[in-house]
Amino acid sequence: KAGVTQTPRYLIKTRGQQVTLSCSPISGHRSVSWYQQTPGQGLQFLFEYFSETQRNKGNFPGRFSGRQFSNSRSEMNVSTLELGDSALYLCASSASGGYNEQFFGPGTRLTVL
């Protein structure tokens, strides 16, 4: 089974721009979660989608948004980028969330200049 894939793997943007990151879950998985990892704040939960609906949301400003498509692929968007948005963005998929194990993708490294 193919693992979780994320594109692009690396991105460089400037302040004020917006960015869209993509995540394709493991085939058959319906839950996709997004996390931000930074040296200062560690791993923080952004949001989780299940069957095209946002099921959980972390404590991030509204500039961070996401969606999930009918094939379970998910995108997250960050508008009006700030320097502090530089991070590794990880997505994880699981069969249904809950007691199911999450499998993480390789991540997208975003650098904001």
Q: Minimal distance in Å, beta carbon 27 to other proteins?
A: 17
Sorted by sequence, the CB contacts under 8 Å of residue 53 that are 6+ apart come out as: 68
When the beta carbons of 94 and 112 are compared against other proteins, the nearer one is 94
List the structure tokens of 84. Answer: 């502090």
When the beta carbons of 17 and 75 are compared against other proteins, the nearer one is 75
* Residue 56 in the binding site for other proteins (CB under 8 A): yes
* Residue 86 in the binding site for other proteins (CB under 8 A): no
Contact window for other proteins (CB under 8 A) among 20-28, 42-50, 64-72, 77-85: 42-50
Task: Build a one-symbol-per-residue string for 7-36: x at contacts with other proteins by CB under 8 A, - elsewhere.
Answer: ------------------------xxx-x-
State the burial class of residue 30 (Cβ atoms within 10 Å of its Cβ: 0-12, 13-18, 19+).
middle
Sorted by sequence, the CB contacts under 8 Å of residue 94 that are 6+ apart come out as: 29, 31, 33, 100, 101, 102, 103
CA 103 to chain CA mean position, Å = 13
When the beta carbons of 33 and 81 are compared against other proteins, the nearer one is 33
